[in-house]
Every structure is written in C-alpha cells, then in structure tokens.
Amino acid sequence: MMPFMCDTLFVPSSHAASGSAIFAKNSDRHPDEPQVMTLAPGPRWASLLSRPVWMKGAEMGINARGVVIGNEAVFPRSKPARDGVLGMDILRLALEESATAEEAVDFIGHFVETRSQGGNGAYRGKLFYDNSYLVADFTDAWIIETAGHRWAARRLTAPASISNCYSIGTDFDRSDPVTAAGKQHGYSFRSQVENRLYRFITQGDFRRACSLSAVSSAGATVETAMAALRSHGPRVRGAKSVCMHGGLLVTSATTASMVVELRAAERRAIIWFTASPMPCVSLFRPAVLENGSFRPLWEDYDYKEGSGAAEQYWKHRRSATRELERTSLADASLAARRDAAQHELIRLAAGPANPAEIGKVVRAFEGA
C-alpha cells in the first residue's frame, strides 16, 4: 500500500504579486475519510482547522493570530512510537498555544524532544510516521522536520515546498542539541535520519519540485497557488500527482485543500478551502480573519466541531467529484467554468463581501 501523501508550499510576500504571503496545502489521505472545516476555540487562540473527522487534530489550519501550519508525513529510519502523539494533534496544539510562527516552531521542537510522536495515523488499516511542518505568519515562515526526538528548522526567505520526504540538510537555523552538534561536523539532517526507500516510494522530491516550480517565479498569486494544488504532473493517477486521485498502487487521494493569503499590512488573512475532495474539480470557498476573529464568507456549512452536517456535505461532494472526475476529460469546458467561478469568488472576497453572492456562485457551479 502506498502511504498517505501531501504537499505544502509557501510564497513570501516578496515573491507574490499582491505583496502578501501565500500558504497552500493539499491533504492526501484515504479516499473515503471525511475531512471537515472546524472553528475551534483554544486555551489561548481559536483556530480554523481542516480536520479528519475521527481525530482531534488537523492536517492544516490557521489561528486567530494569523499563524498557519500544514503537516506532512515523513519516514525516518527510526520507528515511530506505536502509542505516540499524532502529528495532526501536535499541529492543533501548536496553533492553540502560539502567537507567532517562531513560537510554533519552539512548541513543536520542544514537544518532540520531550514526548513521543507516532500513533496510528490511518483511517483504515495502520500507518505510523513522523512529521514535518510548514509554519508561517504574517511576516515569518519556517520548515520544521522531525525524526523521533530529533528536529531541525529552517527559516524561509524564498518560495519553498515540503512533501513526504526530508529536505533540510545542513542549512537549518534551529534544532535539537544532538542535531546541532552534528552540524558542527558537517552532518546533514536529511542524511542522518531519512529512510531512502520511503523517499523513493512516496516520490516526495518529484512533487516538491512540481509544486515549487508553479510558484517560484516572481508574481505568484492565490490563483497560481490553487493551480499548483490542482495540478496532476505526468498523469492523473500516480504518486507524482500533486492533486492525488489514487490508483492501483496509490490508495491515497486529495481529500481537502487550503490556500491562505496573509496580508501583513492589514493583519488580515483570506482563507480559501475546498471542504471537498479533488481540488481539480472543486471550488475554494472563502473565510476571513480580521481583528483577531474568523468570519466565514461561505455560509452554507456548519463549522461547529463534531458537526454531522459538515461530514455529510463532504460525503456528498465526494460522490459529486467522482462523477466529475469521470466526465472531466471529455468535458473541456469544466476547467473553464471552474476558473471563472473561482475568479468571481476571489473578486467578491477582495471587497466588502456579501455571503449571499458567494453562496450563489458556489451553488451555481456545484449544480452545473
């Protein structure tokens, strides 16, 4: 069985057309695993989370201070703890407790040094893994990769992408003491910890390069990031596809997607999420973070944690996207209709957005 795969990318404000940083992530998990959007209070900060329904944690999310985190499964040579803490749970805890991206890096690093990570991360069957994260806020961004109780983190100043492989060599800025000592001798974090067989199986390096190439040139936009998450690479079904559809050996599929535009000047974020599988045949719907509060602009949804309606919506969209997948290759107009609807949603969200108008656009596309 091919393990779950995901891709996360980041564009700093200096490389974005709008002058605002961009975060984007696909969550690739079991094709039948519902993933819902949840507005969750926290001990310090509330969060908007994209969360597999059976776990407390999240694949990706943003908190009320504008800290956004995405999680990736990585596979070290050491074995993850069978009773360890899921990386998605660590992500949610970091969002609840961190006011900045650097605080989140500190939280994750301290957590893995002092606690065991692992646990069964599979919706069906068993899959144990360690975790990497892309962490950003309005003015800062980091990649942090972990292996058991070890970790390394690199601050980002250029477009970056992570996938299901290690990427940090000796170019890290923060780490645990053992890794820091190794750096003095020129030891690469990646070479010390990674399982090379899983690097080949997951094709993480290939997908990292694909998603990064889509946003590495100057002038990236939110639509550029969405296009990267919708891309398929050399073929729709296979480990090299960023928008994962699964196949004979690939039992994962993209079950949810998120793009966040971080507007530092306004301390405002626009969060775009599918609440649906397969971004290639889905729309990203908007919510905003302003003045420390979340305001969903798409109101045809129940964001309450544990909502049965949100889970049913995902299941309905799964059936719809499977039908669209079957017909999309024969329907050349589908992508054009999707892009036109998405462009209209982006236009509406940029101004004093009217949720009724946004709902109308979404329903028109989904009913098409």
Q: How far apart are CA 283 and CA 338, in angstroms?
A: 7
Which position among 6, 165, 210, 243 bears the catalytic label? 6
CB-count exposure of residue 49 (10 Å: 0-12, 13-18, 19+): buried
Query: Angle at CA 286, nearest 5°, toward 228 and 279?
Result: 35
Q: How far apart are CA 247 and CA 74, in angstroms?
A: 21
Has 280 been annotated as catalytic? no
CB 272 within 8 A of CB 353: no
CB 111 within 8 A of CB 145: no
Q: How far apart are CA 118 and CA 86, in angstroms?
A: 5
Maximum distance among all Cα pairs of the chain, rounded to whole angstroms = 60
Chain position carrying tokens 């001798």: 185
Q: How far apart are CA 84 and CA 112, in angstroms?
A: 10
Q: How far apart are CA 215 and CA 134, in angstroms?
A: 16
Q: Which of 187, 190, 144, 142 is nearest to 166 (CA)?
A: 190
Q: Determine the number of helices (DSSP H) and then strands (DSSP E) in the chain.
A: 10, 15
The set of catalytic residues is 6
